[in-house]
Each structure stands twice: as structure tokens, then as C-alpha cells.
A and B are shown apart, each in its own frame.
Chain A
Amino acid sequence: DQQVKQNSPSLSVQEGRISILNCDYTNSMFDYFLWYKKYPAEGPTFLISISSIKDKNEDGRFTVFLNKSAKHLSLHIVPSQPGDSAVYFCAASRYSGNTPLVFGKGTRLSVIA
């Protein structure tokens, strides 16, 4: 039973445009959400996080939006750059970090120059 779902395996975006990656979760106890980026043959790298007390968090070109009623979060990258091409994982945990992170299957983003 997948508690964190990323339903789009891949996404292609033109350089300079906005990339929107989506994530849905089923466990209403999740209260902390993160996005990680992964290049081939490397470990995932932390990008940005959001607590359930917020609905938006920004860090430079990256913004994460949380819609608790829909159990949905999204990562916006603007403007997209070729170096953003990677696999992006959504992750969630319960009790403000007292449980291990649960990851989605990832979305492969390709930014085309």
C-alpha cells in the first residue's frame, strides 16, 4: 500500500519554463513533507521541506505547496534549468519527524535546452 504517490513517472519541460511536480499522500497523520533530487549513481539530495502548519515554502527557484485537505503537495521550479534534470522524490513523515521518511517512486524531470 503506497502511502506516498507520484503518479507521473516522467516530465519534460523547456528551459526557462516552470516545472511542476506533483505528489499525493494517503496517511492523514503525515505532517512533514520533503522533496529530494537524485542524479544517477548518487544518493538523494535534500531540496526543500514544508511542515503541515504551512501551505507554502520558498527557497530560491524552488517552491513547495501543500494542500492538506486534498492530501496533495507540489514542487514548482522556476525558471527550469538543464541542471535540474534529475529524479525528484517526494517524502513524508509523521509526528513532526519522529518516524522514518516514506518516499514516493519519483518523477524523472528532463529540462530541454
Chain B
Amino acid sequence: DTGVSQDPRHKITKRGQNVTFRCDPISEHNRLYWYRQTLGQGPEFLTYFQNEAQLEKSRLLSDRFSAERPKGSFSTLEIQRTEQGDSAMYLCASSLGPASGNTIYFGEGSWLTVV
């Protein structure tokens, strides 16, 4: 399967714990995005990378959130000191960039439940 891969698919954690999600994009894609989706909402943009450079961060990305893409391939999204409001599906997507008109391809998502 050469699509976007996310791990883990589900995570249940206690409030205050740290969690990390990993995303492996489609291999030739140089852009990688993180979105968050909660019930009844569409995907909300968090941040994106062009190769290893983080180009934009949303106001939704509080100080407790950090994303990295150290070698321009896979990416990690870490949430420190989780809160119940962090419970959501975290979606990773990748694209070829503007050459593709910014059509982005999503992974299956990582469900986070904070108890």
C-alpha cells in the first residue's frame, strides 16, 4: 500500500500524559499536512511542511503541540500534557504541492481519546 500511513490508529491516554503520532506520506510527496477533526466539524488545519521546513502553523496549534519532519520524509505530532479537549481524530495528508493544485491525500487518521 503506497498511501499515507498513520500510527497508531487509536490511542487512549490519561489527561496530562504526552502522546505522539507518526505519519508516513506518499513517497514522492514533498508536502505534509496535519489536520484535526472533531465530531460534526470538517478537518481543521494545524500545520504543514514543505520537505523538512515547517511553513505554516494554525492558531489551533497551542504550545503543547509540536510537529517535526526531520528528514523531509515521515513526520511526528506530539501533544504534551493532554487535555480532554484534545480528543479528536488527527489526520495526516500529503501532496505534491502547488503543481498538483494542492490536492491532498489523507491517511486513515489517528483517534485520540483523553480520559
Residue numbers of A with Cβ under 8 A of B are: 4, 6, 32, 34, 36, 41-46, 49, 51, 89, 91, 93, 95-106
Interface residues of B in 16-55 (CB under 8 A from A): 33, 35, 40-45, 48
Interface-located stretch among B61-69, B73-81, B94-102: B94-102
Asked if residues B106 and A44 are in contact (CB atoms below 8 Å), the reply is yes
Asked if residues B101 and A97 are in contact (CB atoms below 8 Å), the reply is yes
Asked if residues A97 and B109 are in contact (CB atoms below 8 Å), the reply is no
Using CB atoms, name the residue of chain B closest to A51: B101
Count CB-based A-B contacts (< 8 Å).
66
User: In the complex, A89 Cα to B95 Cα: how many Å?
Assistant: 18
A43-B108, A100-B33 as given contacts; A89 in contact with B102, CB under 8 Å: no
B45 CB to closest chain A CB, in angstroms? 5
Asked if residues B101 and A32 are in contact (CB atoms below 8 Å), the reply is yes
- Report B-chain residues with C-beta under 8 Å of the C-beta of A96: 98, 101-102
- Report A-chain residues with C-beta under 8 Å of the C-beta of B101: 32, 49, 51, 96-97
A100-B45, A103-B42 as given contacts; A42 in contact with B98, CB under 8 Å: no
